[in-house]
Amino acid sequence: MAGGGSAIRGSRVGAGPMGEAERGDTAPRQRIVFFCANGHETATWFAVEAAIPEEWDCPRCGLPTSTDVNNPPPPPKIEPYKTHLAYVKERRSEQEAQEILEEALAKLRARRARGEVIF
């Protein structure tokens, strides 16, 4: 008995000659070049009737790019991580914080004076 095999061994589904007749005509395309702040150049193909984006991500460094070689977009500003306290301090002045603290302590002392259990 011969080894179990298939008559289509070595081929894959959909394999065969692929020509313009089977695929149809390709849409007219244009080559657009984008430039990033690090001097990288990225060429991408777009359909002629497609809207060209103003910015594109550089595949080499991830910075934003534009089509203007002399004026690429600047790198985005990375802001440091802020704690909850930092956000609170942005919203409240030192005097407001002191007033809120005094009010909270007054309520706590009043509850203790009444004999309430506070956890």
In a domain, 102, yes or no: yes
| SS3 state of residue 92 | coil
In a domain, 79, yes or no: no
In a domain, 73, yes or no: no
Token pair belonging to 63: 């910075």
- 3-class DSSP string for 58-103: CCCCCCEEECCCCCCCCCCCCCCCCCHHHHHHHHCCHHHHHHHHHH
Is residue 62 located within the same domain as residue 88? no
Domain of 56, CATH number, reads 2.20.28.270
In a domain, 42, yes or no: yes
Largest Cα–Cα distance in the chain?
A: 98
Establish whether 58 is an annotated binding residue: yes
Specify the number of domains making up the chain. 2
Establish whether 81 is an annotated binding residue: no
For residue 107, the enclosing domain spans 84-114
Which of 10-14, 35-39, 46-50, 82-86 shows the lowest mean pLDDT across its residues?
A: 10-14
Establish whether 23 is an annotated binding residue: no
Interval 61-115: pLDDT, tens:
999 999 999 999 999 888 889 999 888 888 989 999 899 999 999 999 998 888 8
Cα within 13 Å of Cα(70), Cβ side? 0
Interval 18-44: pLDDT, tens:
555 666 778 899 999 999 999 999 999
CA distance linking residue 54 with residue 72, whole number of Å: 11
In a domain, 97, yes or no: yes
According to the model, what pLDDT value does residue 9 have?
62
In a domain, 19, yes or no: no
Our CA angle for 62, 68, 74, nearest 5°, is: 45
In a domain, 20, yes or no: no
Establish whether 29 is an annotated binding residue: no
The residue among 4 and 28 whose pLDDT is bigger is 28
In a domain, 50, yes or no: yes
